[in-house]
């Protein structure tokens, strides 16, 4: 029997003893530590002389009998030794092992909880505080997010993070979620994109069966939580009933003392047709802005990326990439990933030469509605003026939908502004976007068109 087997064996025997012996002697049973088992003789040590004497005198017969049954050995017997020092030492050892086992168990449980919570709360594992590079541009937003993560619903509720696309709003918001789950695996964190919230609400309110029950389910889903993370609130646009529902979600959570975190690409004041009620609520807490990072921070971000990929990169190469991508961290990362892929494929490190060769910077210019319309119309051979007009010709309608789709995907602008630019209602833009989105995976023709137009727009190569 090795040490572990011996301890297990003793646990089993002890359990039996506790079952058969009177309660008054249980403390003595618990004082026994196993020291060995050899040829049927089970040796245990106690630090209390009374325990040895009493058990020997009044219970040894019963204890031996039980041991014989367990071991199926007629010669089995228990030998109780009194040795204060030895007992103390052994007790400590056992406690140490127990503690280790418990820690291991807790760790395993925590990891299990963590991955469950992380997947059920919709969080991206990459978006943690540890991976967020702090610079002059984001230090205020970062410390506000950290304060919220450490003390939810105390100071800054709601926390409203705003800034242009690709500057780390989603990352920072989700970092709060990860932090919370890690430190309190039982906390219920929910991350939701505003689009998903809207679709969920619409589909629930349209279901033909019990409206009240559906709404109750919907409410529970968004309010039976500790922290809600609502991403890209600018997309709430002018959907009145959804805004009413959002207000209800907000108030319920707020009144229950739960934390609300919101992101947006602009301040509440500039979100078209946002109800005053929501506007004021969004401004109740703290509003923090993310602006593009300065060069040092951009280089630091690239350094981290290189480190995480385990790829060697020349400082000059990182500097070159950072200098040329200064408005959007997503694009900065994209440029790096492209260079990294080439470096990996050709099994070389990232050098300035390679970066220059791959990126040939001039980075892609910002995509405008106008350029999307022109290139798409040309590609599909329709007149660009018809796109803004009222033509119901199938070819024009298809081109229009594709343009709405591309505008939304490539510029991240609201349907409201896309619709407005093309003289259409925002619902028309939204519908068009949805049509293409639903068909794109099934239609080779459509996905080719999207790829080629993107290439022409120079957003991909
Ligand atoms: P937004 O939600 O503002 O459009 P994201 O949070 O999606 O932007 O960020 C875009 C990408 O840039 C993500 O991959 C994110 O991890 C990365 N990123 C942004 N800011 C930082 C930062 N300060 N440190 C590290 N990565 C960042
Ligand atoms: Mg985002």
What confidence tens digit (pLDDT) does each residue in 149-207 have? 999 999 899 999 999 999 999 999 999 999 998 888 788 999 999 999 999 999 888 87
Ligand 1 atom 5: residue of nearest CA: 168
Residue-level pLDDT at 376 = 96
Ligand 1 atom 11: residue of nearest CA: 330
Instruction: Pick 205 or 401 by higher pLDDT.
Output: 401
Ligand 1 atom 18: residue of nearest CA: 168
Distance of CA 294 to the CA centre of its chain: 27
Q: Which residue matches tokens 């961290």?
A: 329
The answer, yes or no, to whether residue 449 has pLDDT greater than 80, is yes
Structure tokens at 78: 């228990």
**Cα angle 77-83-87, degrees, rounded to a multiple of 5:** 90
Task: Give per-residue pLDDT as tens, 32-76.
Answer: 999 999 999 999 999 999 999 999 999 999 999 999 999 999 999
Report CA(170)–ligand 1 centroid distance (Å).
Answer: 7
Helix (H) / strand (E) element for 80: namely strand 77-82
Structure tokens at 332: 């900065």
Number of Cβ atoms within 10 Å of the Cβ of 192: 19
Lining ligand 1 with CB less than 6 A are 127, 131-133, 138, 163, 165-171, 301, 329-330, 333
Task: Give per-residue pLDDT as tens, 99-133.
Answer: 888 888 877 776 766 666 666 667 888 899 999 99
Report CA(445)–ligand 2 centroid distance (Å).
Answer: 29
Residue-level pLDDT at 13 = 96
Q: How many Cα atoms occupy the beta-carbon half-sphere of 414 within 13 Å?
A: 23
Mutating to test ligand 1, I would choose from 171, 233, 264, 297 the residue with most ligand atoms within 8 A of its C-beta, which is 171
Task: Give per-residue pLDDT as tens, 7-36.
Answer: 999 999 999 999 999 999 999 999 999 999
Confidence of residue 136 (pLDDT cuts 50, 70, 90): very high
Which stretches of 135-193 are DSSP H helices? Answer: 139-150, 169-183
The Cα 319–Cα 436 span in angstroms is 39
pTM of the model: 0.61
B/e letters for 115-153, b = 16+ CB within 10 Å, e = fewer, are eebbeebbbeeebbbeebbebebbeebbebbbbbbeebb
Task: Give per-residue pLDDT as tens, 225-277.
Answer: 999 999 999 999 778 889 999 999 999 999 999 999 999 999 999 998 899 99
The answer, yes or no, to whether residue 367 has pLDDT greater than 90, is no
**Cα angle 149-150-152, degrees, rounded to a multiple of 5:** 65
Give Cα separations from 152 to 156, 177, 281 (angstroms). Answer: 8, 11, 17
Strands of the 259-264 sheet, one edge to the other: 189-193, 227-231, 259-264, 159-163, 286-290
Residue-level pLDDT at 91 = 83
What is the arithmetic mean of pLDDT over 382-400?
95
> Which residues lie below 8 Å from residue 238, measured CB to CB, with a gap of 6+?
272, 273, 416, 426
By percentage, how much of the chain surpasses pLDDT 70? 95
Number of H helices and E strands in the chain, helices first, is 21, 8
Kindly give the number of the ligand 1 atom that is closest to the alpha carbon of 332: 12
Give Cα separations from 420 to 69, 154, 366, 369, 427 (angstroms). Answer: 87, 40, 19, 11, 11
Residue-level pLDDT at 122 = 77
Residue-level pLDDT at 117 = 63
The answer, yes or no, to whether residue 437 has pLDDT greater than 80, is yes
Burial class (CB within 10 angstroms; exposed 0-12, middle 13-18, buried 19+) of 191: buried
Helix (H) / strand (E) element for 435: namely helix 426-439
Residue-level pLDDT at 156 = 96
Terminal-residue alpha carbon distance, the chain:
67
Residue-level pLDDT at 255 = 96
Mean pLDDT of the chain: 91
Give Cα separations from 272 to 79, 221, 292, 426, 432 (angstroms). Answer: 84, 27, 24, 11, 20
Report CA(353)–ligand 2 centroid distance (Å).
Answer: 32
Residue-level pLDDT at 49 = 92
> Which residues lie below 8 Å from residue 366, measured CB to CB, with a gap of 6+?
411
Ligand 1 atom 21: residue of nearest CA: 168
Residue-level pLDDT at 92 = 87
Structure tokens at 210: 């019990």
CA neighbor of 302 nearest in space, from 347, 350, 348, 344: 350
Report CA(410)–ligand 2 centroid distance (Å).
Answer: 13
The Cα 229–Cα 259 span in angstroms is 9
What is the arithmetic mean of pLDDT over 215-229?
94
Task: Rounding to the nearest 10 degrees, give the CA dihedral for residues 263, 424, 453, 406.
Answer: 20
Structure tokens at 324: 């040329």
Bridge-partner residues for 81, per DSSP? 45
Residue-level pLDDT at 361 = 66
The Cα 157–Cα 378 span in angstroms is 49
Residue-level pLDDT at 159 = 98
Structure tokens at 396: 């024009």
The answer, yes or no, to whether residue 299 has pLDDT greater than 80, is yes
Report CA(165)–ligand 2 centroid distance (Å).
Answer: 7
């Amino acid at each position: 029997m090795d040490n572990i087997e011996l301890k297990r064996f003793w646990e089993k025997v002890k359990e039996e003893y506790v079952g058969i012996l009177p309660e008054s002697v249980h403390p003595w049973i618990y004082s026994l530590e196993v020291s060995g088992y050899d040829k049927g003789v089970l040796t245990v040590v106690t630090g209390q002389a009374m325990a040895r004497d009493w058990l020997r005198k009044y219970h040894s017969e019963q204890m031996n009998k039980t041991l014989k049954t367990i071991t199926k050995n007629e010669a089995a017997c228990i030998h109780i030794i009194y040795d204060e020092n030895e007992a103390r030492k052994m007790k400590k050892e056992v406690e140490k092992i127990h503690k280790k086992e418990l820690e291991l168990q807790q760790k395993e449980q925590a990891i299990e909880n963590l991955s469950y919570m992380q997947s059920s709360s919709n969080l991206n594992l990459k978006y943690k505080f540890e991976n967020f590079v702090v610079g002059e541009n984001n230090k205020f937003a970062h410390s506000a997010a950290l304060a919220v993560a450490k003390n939810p619903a105390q100071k800054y509720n709601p926390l409203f993070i705003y800034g242009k696309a690709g500057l780390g709003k989603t990352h920072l918001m989700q970092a709060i979620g990860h932090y919370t789950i890690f430190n309190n695996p039982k906390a219920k964190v929910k991350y939701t994109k505003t689009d998903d919230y809207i679709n969920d609400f619409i589909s629930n309110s349209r279901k033909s069966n019990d409206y009240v029950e559906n709404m109750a389910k919907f409410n529970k889903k968004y309010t039976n939580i500790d922290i809600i993370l609502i991403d890209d609130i600018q997309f709430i646009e002018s959907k009145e009933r959804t805004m009413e529902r959002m207000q209800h979600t907000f108030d319920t959570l707020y009144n229950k003392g739960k934390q609300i975190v919101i992101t947006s690409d602009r301040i509440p004041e500039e979100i078209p047709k946002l109800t005053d009620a929501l506007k004021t609520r969004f401004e109740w807490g703290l509003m923090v802005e993310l602006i593009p990072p300065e060069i040092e921070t951009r280089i630091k971000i690239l350094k981290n990326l290189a480190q995480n990929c385990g790829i060697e990169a020349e400082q000059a190469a990182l500097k070159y990439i950072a200098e040329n991508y200064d408005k959007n961290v997503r694009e900065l990362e994209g440029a790096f990933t492209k260079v990294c892929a080439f470096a990996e494929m050709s099994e070389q490190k990232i050098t300035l030469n390679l970066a220059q060769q791959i990126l040939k910077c001039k980075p892609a210019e910002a995509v405008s509605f106008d350029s999307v319309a022109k290139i798409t119309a040309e590609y599909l051979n329709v007149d660009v003026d018809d796109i803004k007009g009222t033509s119901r010709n199938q070819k024009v309608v298809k081109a229009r939908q594709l343009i709405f789709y591309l505008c939304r995907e490539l510029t991240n602008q609201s349907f409201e502004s896309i619709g407005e630019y093309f003289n259409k209602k925002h619902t028309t833009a939204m519908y068009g976007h949805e049509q293409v989105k639903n068909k794109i995976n099934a239609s080779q023709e459509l996905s080719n068109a999207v790829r080629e137009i993107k290439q022409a727009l120079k957003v991909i190569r």
